Amino acid sequence: MNHKGLLVVISGFSGTGKGTLVKEIMKKYNNYSLSISMTTRQPRPGEVDGREYFFTTDEEFEKLIKEDGLIEHAGYCGHYYGTPRKFVEAELEKGKDVILEIEMQGALQVKKKFPETLLLFVTPPSVEELEKRLRGRGTETEEVIHQRMMRAKEEQEYIDKYDMLVINDDLDKCVTEMHDIINASRFTPDRNKKLISDIRAQLSELK
């Protein structure tokens, strides 16, 4: 009903498979535009600057914070992560639905600044499955796996702050569900304020 695009934040415990889901939803549908986060952490093997992340320095990152050039940012495991503002606003203006794959602290910042944002939480079917996926990734040390599981233990607190929740059990099914949830979210009263106020104005003229 709105002409502008919808801002969609996708979060979930590390190891839930968010990255793959986002890649698939981008491939399958053409209404989405993916925001690339900026980070000060080192690239993992295979990661490319400007594809997975924009990799930058602490100095550059802190400069962007000061200039209000990020719509959210957070520290995680000793590194900065953030979302450059310019790209997001330009794509929304074009009517694209912009996907942000960010963690929970950042998600809540975005929701506060842009209340129309859809916060979507992806969960594994069980905690056992989460740990299995983290190990299966094969890129993390035992210590990092433990750190991520402890992080999940902290993060669970925020699940209720999300608007919607999907289980990533079957990839295809989950991608379709995410797309359907995003489309249905356009129909909340909060995202149709113009329509509601028009109808109210017309009704108020009746005698």
Buried b (16+ CB within 10 A) or exposed e, 51-82: eebebbeeeebeebeeeebbbbbbebeeebbb
Closest listed residue to residue 140, CA positions, set 127, 152, 131, 153: 131
The CB-of-99 to its own copies minimum distance in angstroms stands at 17
Cα 206 versus chain centre, distance: 44
Under rule CB under 8 A, which residues in 121-180 are in contact with its own copies?
121, 123, 126-128, 149-150, 152-153, 156, 159-160, 162-167, 177, 180
Size of the site for its own copies (CB under 8 A): 38
| Shortest spacing between CB 117 and its own copies, in angstroms | 15
Binding letters toward its own copies, positions 18-57, x by CB under 8 A: ----------------------------------------
Q: How many CB atoms lie within 10 A of CB 110?
A: 19
- Interface positions with its own copies (CB under 8 A): 1, 121, 123, 126-128, 149-150, 152-153, 156, 159-160, 162-167, 177, 180-181, 183-185, 187-189, 192, 195-196, 198-200, 202-204, 206
